[in-house]
Structure 1
Amino acid sequence: MTTTTLLIYVLAAVAAATWLRSRKQSPIPTIAEAEGVLSSHRTALRFLGNATDVVARGCHQFPEGVFRLPTLFRWEYVANGLQRLSEIAAAPENILSFHDGAADSLQTEYTIGAAVKHNPYHVATVRGSLTRNLARCFPDVRDEIVHAFNDVLALEGKEWKSFHVLPQVMQIVARTSNRLFVGLPLCRNQEFLDLNVNYTIHIFTRGQLIKLIPEFLKPTLAPWFSSKNSSLRHALKFLGPLLEERLAKDQELGADYPDRPNDAISWLLDIATDEERTVPALALRILVINMAAIHTSSTTLTSALYDLTMYPEHMQPMREEAERVIAEEGWSKASLASMHKIDSFLRESQRLSATGALGLTRRVVAKDGFTFSDGTTVPHGAFLSVPANAIHGDPDNYENPEVFDGFRFSRHRKQGSALADPEDTNVNGAVFTQHMVTTSPEHVAFGHGRHACPGRFFAATELKAMLAHMLINYDVKADVEGVRPSDMVFGAMRTPSATGKIMIRRRV
């Protein structure tokens, strides 16, 4: 018997034991096609390649219920219905753990490190300092967008050029984000940018591979897939001297010395304590903040550009809006708020492209499990999610949900504003729910509730500024007319094509 054959038998035995143990422990029903050991294994394999279809079957079978579906080594619990979603979103961390859910999705302990998993203090930096400083720092963001597009696209004249979307968008986003994170000149250092882009890719791709390994084998096998140690060593080459200088200045002069940089390093130093106030620990947080920013903004803008080439009728109205707003208000964070069509287009693209089969994943950490208001209990230790794609495609939530309608939300905002009574908070609240940054039970691209994406305000500012800049300065069209590059799907994760191209040319 070969080693490979033995490993296959071991994995099959582990999967079967897991299935049998989970079957006995939970009264939650499973989808019909996964009844029985062999059927559950077939469904688990189908989930890897077509999770959306597997989850959709469960939603059809249990339209307002909780159901289970098998993955290779455990059962996933899925809660259907907006009421259940709201209850999950409102549950405290000591009942349903967002951090455990995120750590499982990215296999944080192996891909990033245990310190980040157990003390995610950088989230407070993103939610607080980064968001508060967006208006003040916007001129730097705008400046870097202009330089990044010029350098990365490298267009000459007005000839059409093939644009390899996701890789080049990641470069633009990395540069723009790092203008706020570490400033000039490091934000334009190509080796540093490549490190952050590759780190982001490794976290998401290798995390999914590690997730396929049985738990008892992960301590042995996962390090072979992880790049966390080598990435941190590489990062210290660039960040080490800078962080040493900044730590020394804070130690000598305090946190309020004149001309202290207003960047992510300062924001981290404002709240980092004890073992987190070291060069390696701070460098790791810079990598992690980069990872989140690059992934979210790059995939969202890539999908939006694919959609723009598929639905070009949206281009001129958005271009006219951007040109009018800039002429009247100039480039600022505040002026972006007047670009309702651009905001709506990005939100609609998110609705149809930004989520996988499952979202709002939490781990049940309460010893007695998590009980919904109707009495349904999900057991301790289970991973609980909502059917994200199904929510965004539900006709009860959206009219003609299968249709891409880029101005869906701006139209609703306009209609709501026209009818709004200044004293009617319900109407005004309904208008606000159409904004890109606003989460709701019907729109979970940025999550929802107490753990909604803390960086969504930065992401929306960056994305709207980038799309407006592109519309004003460039024309785009599909690489192959009428063909949108296919999204990449693996299990519950979904991202836009990494190999897709569009055509682009300079307008002015």
Structure 2
Amino acid sequence: MNQPTLRELTIKTFLHPLSVVAFATLLFGYISKILLGLQRHRKKFPVFGDKHDPAGFRDVIRHAYEKHPNTFYTLPTEPINNVIIPIKYVAEIKSVPETKLSFIEHNYARFIGKHTTVITQRDHQLIEKGYPKDQRLIEHALIDSIKIDLTRFLGHTMFVMQEEASWALQDVFGHCQDWTPIHLYANALRVISLVSGRVFIGLPMNRDERWLKSTIEFTVDTFLGGKKLSNYPRIFWPILEYVLPELRRVRWHYKNVQNLLRPLLTARLRDMEDPDFKRPKDMLQWGIDNSYGNERNIWWQTMFHLKISVAAIHSTGISLYHILFDIAALPETHETLRQEIVAVEAKYGTPLPKVGLTKLHRLDSLMKESQRMNQLNILTMTRKVMEDVKFSDGTVVPKGTFIGVASGAVNRDAEIFDNPHEFDPWRFWKLRQMPGMENQHQFVSTGSMNYNWGHGSHACPGRFFGSNEIKIVVVDFLKNFELKLLPGEKRPENNYWGMEVRPDFGAQMLIRKRQL
């Protein structure tokens, strides 16, 4: 009698009715387990807010902060949802490494980096490979260049920034011999781009209109392009990135900056072959030094400089916009600030050294209050969870989740701040008058009263440079110009949309040269 073959036995076994039922039962159980797991996660993180009402998210996080302070919940932001981490758990995530809680991966998803190049596809592929040491991410090179090199040479950058700020303000506002209405947002960005560019790329390129155009507009076009993409089904994104005008301009900016950068890079690399070469203290050099073998890679170097503009120009320009409008809305602060400037310059001389800037306590206080009232985002410490994270209460936030902290709600907490909805320019100056608080509550400080910079080892590495830059510009502005609101108008209101806090881009103020 012929014995059945292994193939025949296998077929008979798996086609037996009982086997089919058993297999179907196991499959059903497995799928049910997955679905139940997903359901448990949904129950664990209730959804607060309506994705169709992104303008209402500010009120949602404030309500949740006040009524449900210990609750993990999902805020349905687009194009990704964010699980909001209660403030009490900030200490548990503040120093978790990038490989476990990734700021870069969060931005890649939030800004649709694959199609906008805010985070490039090549970078993302490196992330997936686990950060190979021989080919680091541009984003990590940026952090090294800012956190290590730029911060180390802040004292050196002081003097060139003061020189450039004086030139930039005359370039932008010098025509205002009498009271002149000025659109502040665009002009604040131009000033910051000029001053930052003096350190990043140097003269004369930082004043080249072609360079200015791309370093200012690249960020706008990538963000607007990402916003438009998110309005369409994902299946169309690979096509739309070549159709949407904003993303077509992104590619133009890349080619423009590449053409401008190439001769500078070639000349610098040639100079570096000289045995007596002395490294300039600028971002062109740091981009080469921190490139891990990509010093001659024009694609890499171009993206490095474009991403510096994303990191440095717009956030600082918006902060300058808010600070100048807050000063304009409070004319009683003008002479107080000018008197402080005169006193500090009399003691430390001009151009001001780094230590001199730190003595502008009232200006620092006004800047910090402006940030408190006009944060750039309602969420900070945003991350993508790369490995399951377990909190001290047993809550597990699973891999793949996007998280954030409701810093915007902290800024208006009545248990932390007296009259939290009122602008008090000297709020933090008064706190620093208390014994033992002289060096606390600074614009660059982070902690339980301020998560606007993030907190812990991953707090914004460029905040020290940005603080110095803003102070330098405001000092020169107040010495040489006057400002006020348009007749009968109040300080412009901010617009809240999703995670973003947007200034009034079209707002005007009156500016004229100071009458001495």
Are 1:28 and 2:29 an aligned pair? Answer: no
Contact 1:355–1:388 (8 Å) recurs in 2: no
Query: Which residue in the other structure is 2:367 paired with?
Result: 346
Q: Per-residue deviation at 1:440?
A: 1.3
Query: Which residue in the other structure is 2:133 paired with?
Result: none
Point out the structure with the larger helix share. 1
Query: Which residue in the other structure is 1:107 paired with?
Result: 112
Please show how residues 49-448 of structure 1 align to structure 2 within 5 Å: 49-71=55-77, 75-81=81-87, 83-112=88-117, 113-117=120-124, 118=127, 119=137, 120=139, 121-155=141-175, 157=177, 159-225=178-244, 226=247, 227-250=249-272, 252-253=273-274, 257-258=277-278, 260-275=279-294, 277-330=296-349, 331-366=352-387, 369-415=388-434, 419-420=435-436, 430-448=437-455
Q: Within 2, Cα distance between the matches of 1:230 and 1:21?
A: 46
Q: Per-residue deviation at 1:400?
A: 1.5
Q: Within 1, Cα distance between the matches of 2:402 and 2:154?
A: 35
1:470–1:85 CA distance, 2 compared to 1 (3 A): same
**Greater mean deviation of Cα atoms: 209-218 or 310-319:** 209-218
1:232–1:58 CA distance, 2 compared to 1 (3 A): same
Q: Per-residue deviation at 1:77?
A: 0.7
Q: Within 2, Cα distance between the matches of 1:458 and 1:238?
A: 25
Q: Per-residue deviation at 1:203?
A: 2.7
User: Which of 463, 469, 489 is the aligned partner of 2:476?
Assistant: 469
Q: TM-score under structure 1 normalisation? A: 0.85
Structure 1 residues 197-254: Cα deviation after superposition (integer angstroms, max 9, x where no partner): 111212332233334445454334344342432211011221111112112332x226
User: Which of 459, 468, 485 is the aligned partner of 2:466?
Assistant: 459
Structure 1 residues 311-360: Cα deviation after superposition (integer angstroms, max 9, x where no partner): 22222211110111112212222211110001111111001102332221
**Greater mean deviation of Cα atoms: 397-406 or 166-175:** 397-406
Contact 1:195–1:234 (8 Å) recurs in 2: yes
Q: Within 2, Cα distance between the matches of 1:116 and 1:504?
A: 44
1:178–1:72 CA distance, 2 compared to 1 (3 A): closer
Structure 1 residues 258-311: Cα deviation after superposition (integer angstroms, max 9, x where no partner): 4x4321111111121234532231122111112211112100000111111222
Contact 1:144–1:179 (8 Å) recurs in 2: yes
**Greater mean deviation of Cα atoms: 232-241 or 99-108:** 99-108
Higher gyration radius (CA): 2
> 3-state SS of the aligned residue for 2:310?
helix
Query: Which residue in the other structure is 1:11 paired with?
Result: none
**Greater mean deviation of Cα atoms: 396-405 or 342-351:** 396-405
User: Structure 1: which 5+ residue stretches go unaligned?
Assistant: 1-18, 35-42, 421-429
| Percent identical | 28
1:287–1:29 CA distance, 2 compared to 1 (3 A): closer
Q: Within 2, Cα distance between the matches of 1:285 and 1:466?
A: 25
**Greater mean deviation of Cα atoms: 213-222 or 93-102:** 213-222
Q: Per-residue deviation at 1:451?
A: 1.4
Q: How many residues align?
A: 461
Q: Within 1, Cα distance between the matches of 2:66 and 2:234?
A: 32
Structure 1 residues 31-73: Cα deviation after superposition (integer angstroms, max 9, x where no partner): 46x6xxxxxxxx11112x2221222233344112211232456
RMSD, matched Cα? 2.2
1:208–1:359 CA distance, 2 compared to 1 (3 A): farther
**Greater mean deviation of Cα atoms: 114-123 or 300-309:** 114-123
Structure 1 residues 123-151: Cα deviation after superposition (integer angstroms, max 9, x where no partner): 10011111111211221111100010001
- Give the aligned residue type for 2:210: E
> 3-state SS of the aligned residue for 2:75?
strand
Q: TM-score under structure 2 normalisation? A: 0.84
Query: Which residue in the other structure is 1:5 paired with?
Result: none
**Greater mean deviation of Cα atoms: 56-65 or 491-500:** 56-65
Q: Within 1, Cα distance between the matches of 2:67 and 2:235?
A: 34
**Greater mean deviation of Cα atoms: 135-144 or 266-275:** 266-275
Q: Per-residue deviation at 1:116?
A: 4.7
Q: Within 2, Cα distance between the matches of 1:223 and 1:21?
A: 39
- Give the aligned residue type for 1:149: L
> 3-state SS of the aligned residue for 1:494?
strand
Query: Which residue in the other structure is 1:424 paired with?
Result: none
- Give the aligned residue type for 1:484: R
Q: Within 2, Cα distance between the matches of 1:211 and 1:439?
A: 33
Q: Within 2, Cα distance between the matches of 1:339 and 1:21?
A: 55
Q: Within 2, Cα distance between the matches of 1:73 and 1:280?
A: 28
1:393–1:327 CA distance, 2 compared to 1 (3 A): same
Q: Within 2, Cα distance between the matches of 1:216 and 1:85?
A: 36
Q: Within 2, Cα distance between the matches of 1:131 and 1:201?
A: 26
1:31–1:115 CA distance, 2 compared to 1 (3 A): closer
Contact 1:105–1:208 (8 Å) recurs in 2: no
Query: Which residue in the other structure is 1:37 paired with?
Result: none
1:313–1:80 CA distance, 2 compared to 1 (3 A): farther
> 3-state SS of the aligned residue for 1:458?
helix
Q: Per-residue deviation at 1:481?
A: 3.5
Query: Which residue in the other structure is 2:22 paired with?
Result: none
Contact 1:244–1:279 (8 Å) recurs in 2: no
- Give the aligned residue type for 2:150: L
Contact 1:354–1:495 (8 Å) recurs in 2: no
Contact 2:58–2:496 (8 Å) recurs in 1: no
- Give the aligned residue type for 2:266: E
> 3-state SS of the aligned residue for 1:432?
coil
> 3-state SS of the aligned residue for 2:265?
helix
Contact 1:52–1:356 (8 Å) recurs in 2: no
